[in-house]
Every structure is written in structure tokens, then in C-alpha cells.
Structure 1
Amino acid sequence: MAVFTEVSPEQAQALLNHLQLGELSSLRGIGAGIENTNYFVDCTRDGHLHRYVLTLFERLTAQQLPFYLRLMQHLAQRGVPVPEPYADTTGEILFEVAGKPAAIVDRLHGGHQMAPDAFHCNQVGATLARMHLAGRDYPLQQPNLRGLAWWNEVVPQILPFLDAPQAELLKSELAYQQQLAASAEYAHLPSGPIHADLFRDNVMFEPGEGPGRERLTGFFDFYFAGCDTWLFDLAVCLNDWCIDLTDGRLIEDRAAVFVTAYESVRPLSGAEHRLLPALLRAAALRFWVSRLYDLHLPRDASLLKAHDPRHFERVLRERIAKPWHAMKDPA
């Protein structure tokens, strides 16, 4: 969510006028993230302040974007707490601003919880399962664009920047994931639309009932979403919400709460329990590869902050050294 493309107040107001959303009062670039240009947009309508997020898509094409935007619309209309894109009078939700495809959505209430405990993991786990089930009848299809095919494409570009132990780890893990993806058990894992990037900074909470308790208000930033195994989505979450950020170690009690909450809505199959350790490795590999790619083959951005790839190298090494099962003896 860095600022790659500058948007003027006049350009933002033109879109607000088209959508009949009000008069612009504030336009502020968002510096977090590395894929799209995002702005907080505040405006007034009927004497009230309304808050939105304007996104300009830097890599995704106008042909790809309906999958993401219609998915958010589909989930929101089924009661999943996600930002719903605004449509014009014809039902269109994809527009053009500053020469880029663009959309505007509601800004969720609350803030991020960057130091989650079991209470937060319980809410995220259950909501993730609700999201998966709500997407079962979503009609559009698009692969996970940061999945195995992408790893195969970009790993050769990354290898020259790595030292020998890192290169060996990357090559061996890619081979392991290729073998896993070709297996019959993997092919039968339940799948559908996934978020694929549901880190702590893509979930919002606001104060709720009880001292120190917070209520989940929504998931956002669906622009890495795609059709993949639901287990991969769960693994991505466990590798962020349930780890020690200093060393990548999985905090098993917190992970157990997360999986239990997920299973209270959608129980995992036996195959999913058996393959969870392998998918935890896949989720770590995905973000190690993408962070290496963004660090060594960067794009310019006025507010870009690259993430440290060494974090997910540590996570991957931990998942290989200490496989974790949600069940002690998965059948």
C-alpha cells in the first residue's frame, strides 16, 4: 500500500462525484505495504463525515481486478466483515484514476492489533472459516498469483543474490513443495477463494465489551486473493498471528486456539490435519520468496518500505525443524 502514483484532490473529487459520495475534505497517502497505491479519503455528505479508502492498482490489470473486487462484494453481502466496493448507477465498481485502474471502499473502524493474544486469534480463526464457507458459491475463478507457479518463475531470478546456505534452502524447499503439489492427497484438499495475505495489519479491531477486550471489525486488502487450498490460507495466518516475531517460533498454545476456533465453523479433514505442517512450510516459503523479490528487484515508490526477508527465512527454518500438528496424532 505504498504511494506509487500521485493522485490530486481534483482527480479524487471527480471519482467521488461519479459515485455521489460527497465533497472531499482530506486526501492522505498510506505508506504501509508494497503492492498498490492507497489513500485515505475523507469527505462530507449531508453534513456528516464519511471515510473511505481509494486504491490504485499498480500490477493487477483491469482484466484481473473483477475477481478481487467482486469477491469483496460477494463476501460483504453474505455478512463477512470486509470492505464493500462502491458501485456507480450502472453497478460498475472498477474505475480509472490517474491512468490506473481504481476502486473505492469503506474504511473499516478501529485499528490493528500487532500484539495479538488467544482472544484475538479466536476471532480471526472463526471469521476466516466463515469467509471460506461464504466463498464456496463465488462464480469467478483466478489462481493464487503468488503460488507455486510464481515461485518457480522468480526463484531463479533471486538465487544470485543469496549466499550458499540460503540458496540451498530455497532450492530444496521449492523442490519439496513441487513434490507436495503433485501428490494425490494435496489435489483433494478443500479449496476456493482465499485471502492469502491475512496478516495482523490486514485485520481491524475496535474496543468491545469488557476491559481490554476488542471486537474484530473486518478483514481487508484482498488484492493477493485467489483460488487455492483453504489450508494454505490457514497456514499463512498461523505463521503471523501465532508466532514469536523475534525468532519465528510457533506459539503452540495460541495456534491451537486459532485452529480450534476455525474448526468450530469448518472442521478440517484428516488430510488437512496431516498436511498442515507441509502447508506451514509453503506459507513461509511464499513470503520469503516475495520479500526477497521485493528487496532485490524493487520498484520505485514515494513511501515504499521493504520488508525484511530474513524474518520468513527464520520462520521456514523453524517449520522444517519443528513440524507442528494441530492434533497430536492426525489420522
Structure 2
Amino acid sequence: MAVFTEVSQEEAGELARKLGLGELRELRGIQGGIENTNYFLTTEQDGETLEYVLTLFERLTFEQLPFYLHLMKHLALHRIPVPDPHELPGSETKEHPEGRLLHTVCGKPAAVVDRLRGKSELQPTAAHCDHVGDMLARMHLAARDYPRNQPNLRGLAWWNETVPVVLPYMDPAQAALLNAELAFQNHIAAGSAYAALPRGPIHADLFRDNVMFENGRLTGFFDFYFAGVDSWLFDIAVCLNDWCIDLASGAPDEEREQAFLAAYARVRPLAAAERQLLPAMLRAGALRFWVSRLWDFHLPREAAMLKPHDPTHFERVLRQRVAHAR
């Protein structure tokens, strides 16, 4: 999250009233992340203080965004704890009974969702990983009948496009690793085991800072704006590469990893192809975030509150995953 577009009190207040959320009392920019403009939006209605998150989308288009917003609404209706998007009152139709979830602020696509309770757990234990694994499996199953389809926009096709763009910034050893891993992932994607992986809507970015806990209880997943239809195993791998590693070295933490996988499998046991390809998908997840962080670091956009993530972190994770896959 960051602030690329400055939103005035008047514009935010008008949207809050239009959505029936009450009178605006506070608008505060959110620091962190690198994709969209985000604000905490506090309103008052019937003497009650209510809190929401206003997001302006800087890269995603009006055509792409319904997939994400309606997925969140679908999951909320299936009792998965996610930020529930607010519709424009009176916009419901027979085809879309949930109403219009996508709005316009400062000429850009925007959404307002409920703010989740709690805070992110940045030093997770095995117990936290158990909770996340359990809820991720429930989320995958709840989204099986979601009717909209959109690919993972940061998947293999994007890696193939972006690696040549960031290669000029790499030293020879880094460039060799990037090229070798990209070739390996293209090889894996062409195989029959990969084709057999169960698929559906995935979060694709479920890091520690995208999950909330309160008193040790998981209260929600958020920031679905990298979601897409892909293998469920890739979603698992992204989580394992963040929740279940040592941040300093990038090395896997076996206790947390086993807790996560056991909790996930209690809800949805892994298929044979998933067990076979988990090491390769762990490498894929590390490659995806190394490439995207290289791109954001070396080709940054201006924002009022923007701190690019360190790309070398996922270089370390990838090297660890390659070493442990042998």
C-alpha cells in the first residue's frame, strides 16, 4: 500500500455518503506496499464510528477489477474472513445481485472495503502458520464455484516478459540464476504433472502483512489485488516462502512449514501431482517475488509514501529453495 494519488476530504466524503457509510471524520494515507493508493477512511453514522479502507487502483483497469472485488464479495458470502467491498445502493441487478462494487475517485477506479480487526503477525509461530494453512485451504474450496475467470497476471507469462527488462541491472551470478530458473520454470510448466495440478482462484500474495490476527485468532485475509486463477499449489508455495522461512537467511523453518502443510491438508489433502511439484513451486514463488521486487526497485514509480522492498531477500530465498530441492 502507498499513496500515489492525493484524495481530498471532499472527494472521500462524497463517496462515503454516496455509499451510505455515514459522514467522513478522518482520512489517513496508508504507508507500505507498492501497487495502489490506500487510505483509512473513518466515518460516523448514527453515533457509531466506522472504519473502512479506500483503495484507488493505479495499474489495474476498470475491466480487470471486477474479478478481484466480486471474488472478495463471494468469499465474504461464504464466511471467509476478507474485507467486504461496499456496493452502490440501488445498483443491484438480476445478473449482479451484489450490486456495483467498483467506483471512481479522482478519475481512477476505486473501492471501499471494511477494515479488518487486529494486526499483522510479523514474527509468526507454528500456531500462526497452522491458522493460515487452515484458512487458505478453506478459501480455495470456497472459491471453487466462483464464476469469473482471470489469469494470474504475475504468473509465468509475466516472468518471461520482465526478466529481460531487469537483467541489465544484475551482476553475472544473479543473471545466471535468473535465466536458469526461468528456463526451469518454463520446463516445469510444459509437463504433464503441472497440467494435473488442481486450480482455481488464488490470493497469490498472502504474506505476513496481508493477514490479521486478534488475540491469537486469525481475523482475516486482505489485499486480493494480485489474485487470479492459477494452481492452488502456487498459492501454498507463496505462503511457505514467507510464513515459514527465516527472514535473515531465507532458509526454510521446518516446524512452521510442517504446521502449515498439516493444517492445509486437514481441510484439503494434496493431490499426488501437488506433492511431486511442491519443491518446484517453492522455487517458482521465490522467482516471482524476486523478479517483481527487482522491477519495482530498479524501475520505481513516484508516490507520496513509497518504500520499495529489498529484492535481495527473495534472491536468498530462491537460492535456498534451489539448494534444498537437490
> Considering the TM-score relative to the shorter chain, is it more than 0.5?
yes
Q: In the TM superposition, what are the counterparts of 1:1-331 in structure 2 within 5 Å?
A: 1-89=1-89, 90=91, 91-207=99-215, 214-323=216-325
> What is the rounded CA distance, in whole Å, between the counterparts of 2:45 and 2:223 in structure 1?
26
Residues 258-284 of structure 1, C-alpha deviations (whole Å, 9 max, x = no match): 000000000001110110000000000
Instruction: Report the alpha carbon displacement of residue 11 of structure 1 after superposing the two structures with TM.
Output: 0.3
1:297 partner letter: L
2:219 partner letter: T
> What is the rounded CA distance, in whole Å, between the counterparts of 1:111 and 1:157 in structure 2?
36
Instruction: Report the alpha carbon displacement of residue 155 of structure 1 after superposing the two structures with TM.
Output: 0.6
Instruction: Find the residue that maps to 1:322 and give its secondary structure.
Output: helix
> What is the rounded CA distance, in whole Å, between the counterparts of 2:178 and 2:223 in structure 1?
28
1:158 partner letter: V
* Equivalent pairs, count: 318
> What is the rounded CA distance, in whole Å, between the counterparts of 1:199 and 1:220 in structure 2?
10
> What is the rounded CA distance, in whole Å, between the counterparts of 1:155 and 1:243 in structure 2?
25
1:223 partner letter: Y
> What is the rounded CA distance, in whole Å, between the counterparts of 1:184 and 1:299 in structure 2?
39
Instruction: Find the residue that maps to 1:59 and give its secondary structure.
Output: coil
Residues 172-201 of structure 1, C-alpha deviations (whole Å, 9 max, x = no match): 000000000010110110000000000000
> What is the rounded CA distance, in whole Å, between the counterparts of 1:48 and 1:185 in structure 2?
54
1:235 partner letter: A
TM-score (norm 2): 0.97
> What is the rounded CA distance, in whole Å, between the counterparts of 2:273 and 2:118 in structure 1?
37
Structure 1, unpaired ranges of 5+: 208-213, 325-331
Instruction: Find the residue that maps to 2:119 and give its secondary structure.
Output: coil
1:285 partner letter: L
Residues 20-54 of structure 1, C-alpha deviations (whole Å, 9 max, x = no match): 10011110000110000000000100000000000
**Ranges of 4+ aligned residues in structure 1 off by more than 6 Å:** none
Q: Which residue matches 1:327?
A: none
> What is the rounded CA distance, in whole Å, between the counterparts of 2:39 and 2:105 in structure 1?
12
> What is the rounded CA distance, in whole Å, between the counterparts of 2:57 and 2:3 in structure 1?
11
Structure 2, unpaired ranges of 5+: 92-98
1:322 partner letter: H
Residues 33-92 of structure 1, C-alpha deviations (whole Å, 9 max, x = no match): 000000000010000000000000000000000000000000000010001100112111
Instruction: Report the alpha carbon displacement of residue 323 of structure 1 after superposing the two structures with TM.
Output: 2.3
Residues 236-263 of structure 1, C-alpha deviations (whole Å, 9 max, x = no match): 0000000000000000111011000000
Instruction: Report the alpha carbon displacement of residue 158 of structure 1 after superposing the two structures with TM.
Output: 0.4
Instruction: Report the alpha carbon displacement of residue 116 of structure 1 after superposing the two structures with TM.
Output: 0.3
Q: CA RMSD in A?
A: 0.7
TM-score (norm 1): 0.95
1:170 partner letter: L
Q: Which residue matches 2:96?
A: none
> What is the rounded CA distance, in whole Å, between the counterparts of 2:74 and 2:20 in structure 1?
22
> What is the rounded CA distance, in whole Å, between the counterparts of 2:104 and 2:126 in structure 1?
42
